[in-house]
Amino acid sequence: MQNNPILQKGDSCFIVSPSYCASKIEIEKGIDVLRIAGLEVESGSSIFYSWGSFAGSDDERLSDLQNALDSESCKVIFCIRGGYGLSRIYQRLDWTKFLKNPKWVIGFSDVTFLHLKIQKLGFPSIHGLMLARFADRSHLESFDKLFSLLLNPAPRLEYDVLGPMEFQSEIVKGLLTGGNLSIISNSMGTDLEPDFSNCILFLEDVGEAFYRIDRMIHQIKHSKTSRFIKAIVLGQFTDCPLANFPLSLIEIFTNTFPEIPIFYGLECGHGIPNFPIFLGIETTIKKTKNGYLLSQNPERTSLNF
């Protein structure tokens, strides 16, 4: 796994909308926030387009995303919003220039398709806030944390999480993979299916009924490498209706994976706050006096390029 460049004020970023469209006001305010933060902003030509709910046609969104991946000047790609659309275009992307000049790709939800591909290529990415919410005051803390991470030459993340009190191990280590549960489930049996060997699996979702969550978790359970998962960490499962399902959210996971620890309470996903987390780097979960501490320290992996 290789690391990506450190962002500095004056550097260039590229904004794209590879899935659903956002409003012109949201995009313009997000661009203003980036400029105030000291970044030069490049953008795809279709960011203000719409084709139904999409931010332009498949070809238009593909062209913008390809230009962002190919850019020699930008160090980070900010996705504008998620929704749906990347599954229609990701297989047509050419990653040749990205491999020679990698950059951070930031987003969540539908952007999980990109995270899965980037990790297959051997690079990390960031599950985090998207541009359409950069100017939203309720997400100020999430935005500040994301940018402090990007601008820090020695970034480190630490989050308190909850977990099984009966779990005896003092520490769990593994490569953090995952993202949106629905996307992970959809990837099973495709070229993007994650290799769960010795990983810590992070999952979040929005608007999925408990029975659907249960179905998707069992689909992952039946994958070839799921038996090698070291632990599961649950982010936010926002607006997920019980729908008369007999198990709680935590019970869905503990019943399906009784042999590994299930941690929860990570404030990453579709809620507020939506804190950033690295995907594709070694992650440690350590027992503390009051629970567990999830930590990531990319510098210690010695993966600078």
On whether the CB atoms of residues 71 and 104 are closer than 8 A, the answer is no
Instruction: State whether 16 and 109 are in the same domain.
Output: yes
Instruction: State whether 176 and 295 are in the same domain.
Output: yes
* Top-confidence residue, 154 or 37: 37
Q: Considering the domain boundaries, does residue 152 fall inside one?
A: no
Instruction: State whether 123 and 252 are in the same domain.
Output: no
What whole-number distance in Å separates Cα of residue 242 and Cα of residue 199?
Answer: 29
139 counts as catalytic: no
Domain region containing 297: 157-301
Instruction: Indicate whether 269 pLDDT > 70.
Output: yes
First vs last Cα of the chain: how many Å apart?
10
On whether the CB atoms of residues 127 and 179 are closer than 8 A, the answer is yes
Instruction: State whether 293 and 168 are in the same domain.
Output: yes
Instruction: Indicate whether 251 pLDDT > 90.
Output: yes
Instruction: State whether 297 and 170 are in the same domain.
Output: yes
How many domains does one find in the chain?
2
- Residue 229's CB is within 10 A of a number of other CB atoms, namely 23
User: 43, 109, 125, 187: which is the annotated catalytic residue?
Assistant: 109
Helix (H, G, I), strand (E, B) or coil at 80: coil
Q: Which of 114, 140, 166 is the last residue of a domain?
A: 140
Instruction: Indicate whether 167 pLDDT > 80.
Output: no
- What does the pLDDT average to over 80-92? 97
Q: How confident is the model at residue 3 (pLDDT cuts 50, 70, 90)?
A: low
Amino acid found at 171 = I
Instruction: Indicate whether 257 pLDDT > 50.
Output: yes
What whole-number distance in Å separates Cα of residue 161 and Cα of residue 286?
Answer: 10
Q: Could you list the beta-strand ranges (E) of the chain.
A: 12-16, 40-43, 74-79, 104-107, 125-127, 157-161, 171-180, 199-206, 231-238, 262-263, 277-279, 282-287, 292-296
Domain with 211 in it: what CATH number?
3.50.30.60
pLDDT the model gives residue 4: 67
Residue 184 falls in which region: left (phi positive, over 0), alpha (psi -120 to 50) or beta = alpha
Instruction: State whether 182 and 228 are in the same domain.
Output: yes
Q: Considering the domain boundaries, does residue 151 fall inside one?
A: no
* Top-confidence residue, 268 or 164: 268
Specify the pTM.
0.95
pLDDT in tens, 187-200: 999 999 999 999 99
Q: Which of 77, 108, 140 is the last residue of a domain?
A: 140
Per the listing, tokens 């409003």 go with 23
What whole-number distance in Å separates Cα of residue 137 and Cα of residue 132?
Answer: 12
Which residues does 172 contact at the CB level (< 8 Å), separation at least 6?
200, 230, 231, 261, 284, 285, 286
Instruction: Indicate whether 303 pLDDT > 50.
Output: no
Exposed, middle or buried, 100 (CB in 10 Å: 0-12/13-18/19+)?
exposed
Lowest-confidence pick of 59-73, 100-114, 286-300? 286-300
- Average pLDDT value for the chain: 94
Instruction: State whether 134 and 165 are in the same domain.
Output: no
What whole-number distance in Å separates Cα of residue 96 and Cα of residue 123?
Answer: 13
Q: Could you list the beta-strand ranges (E) of 128-230.
A: 157-161, 171-180, 199-206
User: 26, 60, 204, 267: which is the annotated catalytic residue?
Assistant: 204
Q: Considering the domain boundaries, does residue 2 fall inside one?
A: no
What whole-number distance in Å separates Cα of residue 99 and Cα of residue 78?
Answer: 18
Q: Considering the domain boundaries, does residue 136 fall inside one?
A: yes
Q: Considering the domain boundaries, does residue 203 fall inside one?
A: yes
pLDDT in tens, 117-161: 999 999 999 999 999 999 999 999 999 999 999 998 888 999 999
Q: Considering the domain boundaries, does residue 24 fall inside one?
A: yes
DSSP 19-35: SB---HHHHHHHHHHHH
Instruction: State whether 130 and 161 are in the same domain.
Output: no
pLDDT the model gives residue 207: 97
Instruction: State whether 127 and 167 are in the same domain.
Output: no
Instruction: State whether 244 and 113 are in the same domain.
Output: no
Domain with 89 in it: what CATH number?
3.40.50.10740
Instruction: State whether 161 and 123 are in the same domain.
Output: no
Instruction: State whether 170 and 231 are in the same domain.
Output: yes
222 counts as catalytic: no
Q: Considering the domain boundaries, does residue 31 fall inside one?
A: yes
Helix (H, G, I), strand (E, B) or coil at 17: coil
